[in-house]
Amino acid sequence: GGGWGGGRNGRPSLVCVGKEWYRFPSHFILGHDDLRLAYLKSGFTGQLPQPFVEDAPLPRATSLRREGFNDLNKEETSRYVEADMCSYIVDLELDGDDGIRYSSSGFSKKWEEIESLPFLDASQSPTYTRAFYVPVLSERMNTWAKYKLFAARNDGEK
């Protein structure tokens, strides 16, 4: 990938999300000027967020009328990029999830897992141990998924 500073050909590096789009509402949370959020096609078929116009003055930047919006939450395919345009992919791997797994052998030639952190699977964990940490009991009762960060390999296969 392009690294945390600078993307390809002087453009920002793309941090891509698919089904995790709702945890990343804006590129502002990425914390670096050389990173931009992009969306991969996933099971979601509604309208995805669009970046703010960067050179528009505030507060006007938040109220500009732009192409590609609708009031019916219909999918706008111009928001998607292909995975080979991404420098990084963020994904949550849940047990029983039949979506794309970037850690699978089919993707390992193009993507390297650079971070994997535990992530509470709320749908498989009791409410009381999710809401309140109880030593020993929380570890035993809660179910953890894997929240992963993948980087594009730099070997020209991307």
pTM of the model: 0.79
- DSSP summary character for residue 8: G
Q: What is the pLDDT of residue 22?
A: 80
In the sheet that holds 35-39, the strands lie side by side as 35-39, 13-17, 88-93, 144-152, 111-120
Which pLDDT belongs to residue 98? 66
Q: What is the pLDDT of residue 157?
A: 44
- Which segments of the chain have a pLDDT < 50? 1-3, 156-158
**Dist CA 71 CA 29 (whole Å):** 26
Residue 152's alpha-carbon distances to 5, 46, 74, 149, in angstroms, are 15, 27, 31, 10
Closest C-alpha to 149, from 30, 33, 47, 32: 30
- 């453009």: which residue's tokens? 11
